[in-house]
A and B are shown apart, each in its own frame.
Chain A
Amino acid sequence: MRKAKSLHPSASPSERSVANSLEAEAGSAPTRRLFLKRMGLGAVLIGLFGHVLAWVRSLFPNVLYEEPRRIKIGRPEDFAEGGTFLEERRLFVFRERNTFYAISATCTHLGCTVKMIHLPQPKRVQIGGRVREERYEFHCPCHGSKYYGDGTNYAGPAPRPLVWYKLEVAPEDGQLVVNLDEIVGQDFRLTV
């Protein structure tokens, strides 16, 4: 319990007496008064803090006037085997029987849309220690960047492989949904 404050010299006699009685009471029922005082002060602080918090919270938007980040792209059964290019979405969707994956068509150099090149003959390539046979590749028409069929960059100025986006199934109608907010690795497959 803190020492009672000394009154300033110009305190009136009545103030002194109240202070004295406060001191006297302090010994007998300190907790109740202090408790109420603390509750009161707490209420003030919480009330004011609540105000400021509400104001700041209003600056975090709940809705965005932007293109949605999760986009429906069609029913799985409507996709042909192999690769489909979705032009407006700048996306390649690949189907192998009932597994699906999606690769972005945006070149990682300066953002042009890459083209899918069908190879006349299957090509053997080694990516990170593993050998694959690929029938198609991606070439960028702007500055000559080249990517293997899994998006790995191997020629030209492209600094990184093509991005793989997560594919999901929409709960309402079973359509494929590409989630542009989630980037996945090259081993991602969605099984429908």
Chain B
Amino acid sequence: MATGRTLWERIFWSWRPESSREAGDAIVRNFLLHWFPAKVLRESLSFRYSLWLGTIAAVLFVLLTGTGVILMFLYVPSVERAYASVKDIEYVVSFGWFVRSLHRIAAHAMVAVVFLHMMRVFLTGAYKNGVAADQNRPLNWIIGILLLLATLLLSFTGYLLPWDQLAYWAITVGTSIATAAPWIGDDIRFVLLGGHEIAQNALLRFYVLHCFVLPTAVLLLFSWHMWRVRKDGGLACADRLAREHRREWTTPIRSKTYSLLGIARGRTVHVEVAAIHEEEQMVPASPVLVRRLFLVALGTIVATSLLALMIRAPLEEPANPSVTPNPAKAPWYFLWLQELVALTTVRIGTYTLNGAFVGGVLIPGLLILWSAIWPYLDRSSTASVGVWFPTERRRQNLVFLLIVAGILVLIVTGTLRGPYWEFYWPWEPWPEIPRRF
């Protein structure tokens, strides 16, 4: 190797490998980098293809973990002290307002970004298997759905912790909807709350779920998710590229094997990446992928910090079980469910349709189930894998977008509901809320 290296180069040699061999070495010998393949398809790094949404979600998760750990030193999960501890974070802890604001912005952003990522994966047909052997993208899609549910639950459990009116009543609405599940609904609520009321048991359970159980689940699922991406041959655009460059196509050919050092043979993980033959389409993961990853992470931090400076996290009156705020709303990502529940509570003659069941259990349950099994029902060809809005999948994409649009409309409608669940256009003022003085 080169002998005229500076100190920097000798410490961070893996950042800028000087040969292909060194590039492979760098990945394997560096703990932080071993996650990546030695070389990456340049196409996968395109912003336009994936929008890097998955990465943004992961960076947000890291941000949430960092700010979350800080908050764990400052917050007290006891019904007598929770509210006061959050007030202290806002007023007397140095940068407490900033850490809390970051945490909240990142939380809402993560829910949105994870959902957008799911949308991107669907619209590009990246849940479908491509041309390589032994791919199982539908499984990864299901792992993704589990990650989405975990994200929603993380946000929901965190919502209760400030123990103010907003928290208490949002969770009241949420757990009441859960009771509509047939046969086990009440039991679900009982176990979730550790009782019949939202009190100390509920707070502690939600705290443990929020700080330990769900983050661990996310870490495990995320690791599996990334592992599956590697095993499936990278992002779905790799399959598109492989098809474009193949002139004739018969059966999938085992063209590359992975083992710990990437040079062994035999029956082990193998991936068909036709582009392995086209060196000019590959770039070394370090520095190209690492640099772009740093860029996306920095951008996420900048955006989150900006929003955290502009929007302060709210803290309403202390939780009061005997005073219901009017209106009492679920957090925005569940608002569409609350709206559905309100809409589907219909009385026909003497028969009352149980809106909580229809809107709270049936419809979301069906949606989750349908999205989970869709990859197995999808009959489009491998030509549509890793392609934005392919003609073949036009109808599927349209239906998907319509459902998403419906959800968005319901969320917006729910946001515009005022006291007594009356609808107010954005320009119509809500009635003045009376006060004591």
Direct contact of A and B (CB under 8 A): yes
A residues at B contact (CB < 8 Å): 2-3, 5-6, 8-10, 12, 44, 48, 51, 54-55, 57-63
Query: Which residues from chain B contact A10 at a C-beta distance below 8 Å?
Result: 20, 279-280, 282-283
Query: Which residues from chain B contact A51 at a C-beta distance below 8 Å?
Result: 301, 305
B99 & A55 in contact (Cβ 8 Å cutoff): yes
**Distance in angstroms between the alpha carbons of A37 and B98 in the assembled complex:** 29
Interface string of B93-118 (1 = CB under 8 A from A): 11110110000000000000000000
B93 & A58 in contact (Cβ 8 Å cutoff): yes
- Contact residue among A2, A54, A61 (Cβ-Cβ distance under 8 Å from B95): A54
Complex: chain A residue closest to B302, CB-CB: A47
Chain B nearest CB, measured from A59 CB (Å): 6
B98 & A54 in contact (Cβ 8 Å cutoff): yes
**Distance in angstroms between the alpha carbons of A55 and B279 in the assembled complex:** 44
Query: Which residues from chain B contact A63 at a C-beta distance below 8 Å?
Result: 88, 92
11 contacts between A and B (CB under 8 A): A5-B16, A8-B18, A9-B20, A10-B20, A12-B280, A48-B298, A58-B93, A58-B96, A61-B92, A63-B88, A63-B92
- B276-328 contacts to A, CB under 8 A, are 279-280, 282-284, 298, 301, 305
- Contact residue among A8, A44, A54, A59 (Cβ-Cβ distance under 8 Å from B17): A8
**Distance in angstroms between the alpha carbons of A54 and B96 in the assembled complex:** 9
**Distance in angstroms between the alpha carbons of A58 and B20 in the assembled complex:** 45
A55 & B92 in contact (Cβ 8 Å cutoff): no
Is B23 interfacial (CB 8 A cutoff)? Answer: yes
A6 & B301 in contact (Cβ 8 Å cutoff): no
Query: Which residues from chain A contact B92 at a C-beta distance below 8 Å?
Result: 61-63
- Contact residue among B23, B74, B88, B95 (Cβ-Cβ distance under 8 Å from A57): B95
**Distance in angstroms between the alpha carbons of A48 and B59 in the assembled complex:** 14
Query: Which residues from chain A contact B280 at a C-beta distance below 8 Å?
Result: 10, 12
A59 & B70 in contact (Cβ 8 Å cutoff): yes
- Contact residue among A6, A44, A48, A57 (Cβ-Cβ distance under 8 Å from B94): A57
- B1-40 contacts to A, CB under 8 A, are 4, 6, 16-20, 23
Query: Which residues from chain B contact A6 at a C-beta distance below 8 Å?
Result: 18
A48 & B4 in contact (Cβ 8 Å cutoff): no
Is B73 interfacial (CB 8 A cutoff)? Answer: yes
B19 & A58 in contact (Cβ 8 Å cutoff): no
Among A57, A59, A63, max chain B CB count under 10 A is at A59
**Distance in angstroms between the alpha carbons of A5 and B20 in the assembled complex:** 15
A58 & B74 in contact (Cβ 8 Å cutoff): yes
Chain A nearest CB, measured from B279 CB (Å): 5
Query: Which residues from chain A contact B279 at a C-beta distance below 8 Å?
Result: 10
B67 & A55 in contact (Cβ 8 Å cutoff): yes
Complex: chain B residue closest to A53, CB-CB: B95
**Distance in angstroms between the alpha carbons of A2 and B95 in the assembled complex:** 41
Complex: chain B residue closest to A62, CB-CB: B92
Complex: chain B residue closest to A3, CB-CB: B4
Among A12, A58, A61, A63, max chain B CB count under 10 A is at A58
A58 & B70 in contact (Cβ 8 Å cutoff): yes
Among A5, A9, A51, A60, max chain B CB count under 10 A is at A51
**Distance in angstroms between the alpha carbons of A14 and B305 in the assembled complex:** 37
- Contact residue among A3, A8, A44, A54 (Cβ-Cβ distance under 8 Å from B99): A54
Query: Which residues from chain A contact B262 at a C-beta distance below 8 Å?
Result: none
**Distance in angstroms between the alpha carbons of A151 and B6 in the assembled complex:** 65
Interface string of B62-77 (1 = CB under 8 A from A): 0000110010011000
- B386-410 contacts to A, CB under 8 A, are none
- Contact residue among A2, A12, A48, A61 (Cβ-Cβ distance under 8 Å from B93): A61
Query: Which residues from chain A contact B17 at a C-beta distance below 8 Å?
Result: 8
**Distance in angstroms between the alpha carbons of A160 and B305 in the assembled complex:** 54
Chain B nearest CB, measured from A52 CB (Å): 8
Chain B nearest CB, measured from A169 CB (Å): 28
Q: A2-B6, A10-B20 are in contact. Are A55 and B284 (CB under 8 A)?
A: no
B20 & A8 in contact (Cβ 8 Å cutoff): yes
Query: Which residues from chain B contact A57 at a C-beta distance below 8 Å?
Result: 94-95
Among B67, B95, B98, max chain A CB count under 10 A is at B95
A-B interface, 9 closest residue pairs, ranked by CB to CB distance from nearest? A54-B95, A58-B95, A57-B94, A63-B92, A55-B70, A58-B93, A58-B94, A62-B92, A58-B96
- Contact residue among B4, B19, B95 (Cβ-Cβ distance under 8 Å from A55): B95
Complex: chain A residue closest to B71, CB-CB: A58
Query: Which residues from chain A contact B16 at a C-beta distance below 8 Å?
Result: 5
Complex: chain A residue closest to B39, CB-CB: A10
Complex: chain A residue closest to B16, CB-CB: A5
Q: A9-B19, A10-B279, A55-B99 are in contact. Are A60 and B94 (CB under 8 A)?
A: yes
**Distance in angstroms between the alpha carbons of A48 and B301 in the assembled complex:** 9
- B246-290 contacts to A, CB under 8 A, are 279-280, 282-284
Query: Which residues from chain B contact A54 at a C-beta distance below 8 Å?
Result: 94-95, 98-99
Among A8, A57, A61, max chain B CB count under 10 A is at A8
Complex: chain B residue closest to A10, CB-CB: B279
Q: A54-B95, A58-B96 are in contact. Are A8 and B4 (CB under 8 A)?
A: no
Complex: chain B residue closest to A52, CB-CB: B66
Query: Which residues from chain B contact A62 at a C-beta distance below 8 Å?
Result: 92-94
Query: Which residues from chain A contact B96 at a C-beta distance below 8 Å?
Result: 58
Query: Which residues from chain B contact A5 at a C-beta distance below 8 Å?
Result: 16, 18
Chain B nearest CB, measured from A146 CB (Å): 45
